């Protein structure tokens, strides 16, 4: 397939290029080359490259930054997605829209299914949900893929931050009452590449299997990396930040499992990631 991937310089965009290029012809511009908020540029990129499918992974992902600049969050994640959805629909091209567990409020006492009702409690979640609405109303050939807690080798993410902070502080306090599914971008990319072969348009949750709080995740990162910096679990109420993550941000991947798409457990993914990270560091 000929794939156009927005957010090509991001964690997921790079992973899709890394893992999908043997099978697919992939064009993956960053925001400087293709700004989703520029409707004309998006329309001409799709008209010129005539992709078989567009993966819209580009987004404003700075969750706290979205609280500080709601208009920019909505412009990039809402309007930008509307532009990509409308242009792909005009060209008769299917779209994958990558969304987030932050569309849920986290109050449910079980993992969130694809068909549970979103009710975002953050600007980031609200702006990504606006993107979901744009995609589902404008392009009938859509896959909405919600994921969570994504990390990759070169990205700004929790794993890399923890490993850095562990070298800078004698002890770390980490939130222990907010849960999700840590997800390796490489596994997510493979899941999406499998999903687009299905033709089964709809809404999917795609994460590594298993769940963790931020503290449990950090403990595993340190255990697998041989880091001995002590950690203290704290409630989210003691960690001041602009955005409030859902307390229960855990996704149930029921719909993807129905297609035979099931990602490995996050422990396994983290181990592979750390191995690759140390290989890349030489
Ligand atoms: N990271 C997570 O934990 C997480 C969790 C759930 C869902 N997601 C979703 O997964 C997708 C991929 O996330 P990621 O972790 O790969 O993000 P990332 O590493 O932060 O990369 C974001 C990408 O979006 C691009 N971008 C920013 N503004 C844009 C614009 N106006 N037009 C087009 N592209 C723009 C950036 O381009 P430049 O760098 O060139 O500016 C970059 O390539 C996003 O849709 C995100 O909402 C992420």
Q: Ligand 1: which of 150, 151, 161 to mutate, most ligand atoms within 8 Å of CB?
A: 150
List the catalytic residues. Answer: 124
Task: Please tell me what DSSP assigns to residue 166.
Answer: H
Task: Please tell me what DSSP assigns to residue 16.
Answer: H
For residues 251, 254, 128 and 45, what is the CA-based torsion angle, rounded to 10 degrees?
Answer: 140
In a domain, 197, yes or no: yes
CA 228–ligand 1 middle distance (angstroms)? 32
Cα separation, 203 vs 252, in Å, equals 12
In a domain, 198, yes or no: yes
pTM summary value: 0.98
pLDDT in tens, 118-146: 999 999 999 999 999 999 999 999 999 99
pLDDT in tens, 197-218: 999 999 999 999 999 999 999 9
In a domain, 53, yes or no: yes
Number of separate domains in the chain: 1
Atom 17 (ligand 1) nearest CA: 10
In a domain, 219, yes or no: no
Tokens of 201: 């348009």
Stated as kind and residue range, the H or E segment containing 19 is helix 11-20
Sheet of 202-205, strand order: 25-27, 2-6, 53-56, 95-100, 142-147, 202-205
Atom 15 (ligand 1) nearest CA: 11
Stated as kind and residue range, the H or E segment containing 151 is strand 150-151
In a domain, 142, yes or no: yes
Cα separation, 150 vs 129, in Å, equals 18
CA 279–ligand 1 middle distance (angstroms)? 25
Cβ neighbours of residue 62 under 8 Å, at least 6 residues apart?
Answer: 124
Q: Give pLDDT, residue 155.
A: 83
Spell out which residues line ligand 1, taking CB within 6 angstroms.
Answer: 6-13, 30-32, 34-37, 57-61, 76, 80, 98, 100, 128, 147-150, 155
Stated as kind and residue range, the H or E segment containing 223 is helix 214-225
pLDDT in tens, 12-48: 999 999 999 999 999 999 999 999 999 999 999 999 9
In a domain, 116, yes or no: yes
Instruction: Determine the distance from the C-alpha atom of residue 44 to the mean position of all C-alpha atoms in its chain, rounded to a whole number.
Output: 26
Q: What is the CATH number of the domain that holds 85?
A: 3.40.50.720
* Range(s) of the domain holding residue 16: 2-156+181-210+251-264
């Amino acid at each position: 397939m000929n794939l156009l991937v927005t957010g090509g310089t991001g964690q997921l965009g790079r992973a899709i290029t890394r893992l999908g290029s043997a099978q697919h012809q992939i064009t993956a511009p960053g925001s400087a080359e293709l700004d989703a908020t520029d409707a004309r540029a998006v329309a001409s990129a799709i008209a010129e490259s005539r992709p078989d499918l567009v993966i819209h992974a580009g987004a404003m992902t700075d969750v706290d930054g979205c609280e500080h600049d709601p208009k920019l969050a909505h412009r990039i994640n809402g309007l930008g997605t509307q532009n990509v959805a409308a242009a792909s629909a005009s060209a008769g091209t299917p779209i994958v829209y990558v969304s987030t567990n932050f569309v849920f409020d986290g109050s449910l006492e079980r993992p969130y299914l694809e068909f549970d009702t979103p009710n975002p409690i953050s600007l980031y979640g609200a702006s990504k949900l606006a993107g979901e609405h744009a995609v589902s109303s404008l392009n009938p050939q859509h896959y909405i893929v919600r994921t969570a807690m994504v990390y990759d080798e070169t990205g700004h993410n929790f794993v890399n931050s923890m490993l850095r902070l562990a070298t800078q502080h004698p002890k770390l306090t980490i939130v222990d009452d907010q849960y999700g599914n840590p997800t390796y971008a490489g596994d997510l990319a493979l899941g999406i590449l499998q999903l687009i072969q299905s033709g089964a348009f709809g809404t999917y949750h795609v994460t590594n299997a298993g769940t963790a709080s931020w503290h449990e995740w950090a403990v595993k990162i340190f255990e697998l990396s041989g880091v001995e910096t002590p950690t203290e679990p704290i409630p989210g109420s003691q960690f001041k930040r602009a955005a409030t993550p859902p307390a229960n941000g855990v996704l149930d991947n029921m719909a993807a499992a129905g297609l035979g798409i099931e990602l490995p457990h996050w422990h396994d993914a983290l181990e592979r990631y750390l191995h690759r990270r140390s290989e890349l560091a030489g």
